[in-house]
Amino acid sequence: MELFALYGLNFIYGIATLGLIVLGLAVVFGLLGVMNMAHGEFVMLGAYSVLIVQGQGLPYFLSFPLAVLICGFVGYLVEWSMIRHLYTRPFDTLLATWGIAILIRKTVEVIFGRGYQSVNQTVTGTVDILGVDYPAYRLVVFVCAVTLLVGLFIWYRRSNTGARIKAMIANPELAQAMGINTARLARGTFVFGVCMAGLAGALIAPLVRVEPYMGLDYLLSSFFILVVGGLGTLEGLFIGSSVIGGVDVAVSAFFDKTSGYLAVLVISILFLWLRPEGLYARR
């Protein structure tokens, strides 16, 4: 029973963190259609902001505003200098953001070095849930992830800005004619997306290995989750995270880590091939 509860908790936690990491790409790729190959690098920037904060002896929670600040600044710069010229050239966006990814990765390597960095966990200890001693920090991450996802879901459905974004996606010219400043809205959306990626990075930093190349794994699994789930909706994001996370956990538990990874790849290929609109399509 306890083992069962532990698996259950790990499963739910796994989905929540996946959803958290994908959120930024869901906004940038799912809404704007920008294949942001530097998504993982923004997650990485968020993780390094924890390192900066702790290096200065400041409290952990200050890394969240710092992550948003750094990612917001870099994201703004990237959008302004490159992405805005490329919204209609998907392949070039892919290449340009790949270049940005290398640039960010290498710059971080210059500043912090190639090696792994350890991030201190500030919320330590365990909490008793259903008879299981569960790490308290994982609960924090879980609560933050759910709050963020649900909050964003409600905001996107109810707010004026959400409606404007939907209008811009459906028909940019018409949206412009209706007085929506699509250039600014697109930039705002992009910057928001990469800030979310940074925030996710700051949240998961104490639980993962922090190094300049960490973004690569997050990038690819994020793309696969979006493809499996379907673009442009939070429902799709949730379903995609469940499928990819669930398959990974289940296959890894039965066989080994490599098989889990292969199973995720195979499922992603099947979806890309047979059902590219995903399980929960916008239309």
| Closest C-alpha to 51, from 109, 112, 104 | 112
Site for other proteins contains 77 (CB under 8 A): no
Of 224, 231, 232, 238, the residue at the interface with other proteins (CB under 8 A) is 224
Q: Beta-carbon neighbour count of residue 125 at 10 Å?
A: 9
In the complex, least distance from residue 4 CB atom to other proteins, rounded to whole angstroms: 30
CA distance 155 to 218: 26
**Choices 3-11, 79-87, 172-180, 228-236 (CB under 8 A): range interacting with other proteins:** 79-87
Q: How far is CA 200 from CA 34, 38, 48, 133, 226, in A?
A: 19, 14, 12, 24, 16
Q: Is 47 in contact with 201 (CB distance < 8 Å)?
A: yes
**Choices 15-23, 130-138, 243-251, 272-280 (CB under 8 A): range interacting with other proteins:** 272-280
Task: Give all strands (DSSP E) within the chain, no chain letters.
Answer: 126-129, 132-135
Of 58, 69, 77, 110, the residue at the interface with other proteins (CB under 8 A) is 110
Number of residues binding to other proteins, judged by CB under 8 A: 36
Of 89, 114, 157, 158, the residue at the interface with other proteins (CB under 8 A) is 89
Q: Is 255 helix (H, G, I), strand (E, B) or coil?
A: coil
Of 56, 57, 59, 91, the residue at the interface with other proteins (CB under 8 A) is 91
CA distance 112 to 91: 32
Which residues lie near other proteins (CB under 8 A)?
35, 82, 85-86, 89-92, 94-96, 98-100, 102-103, 106-107, 109-110, 216, 220, 223-224, 227, 258, 261-262, 265-266, 268-269, 272-274, 276
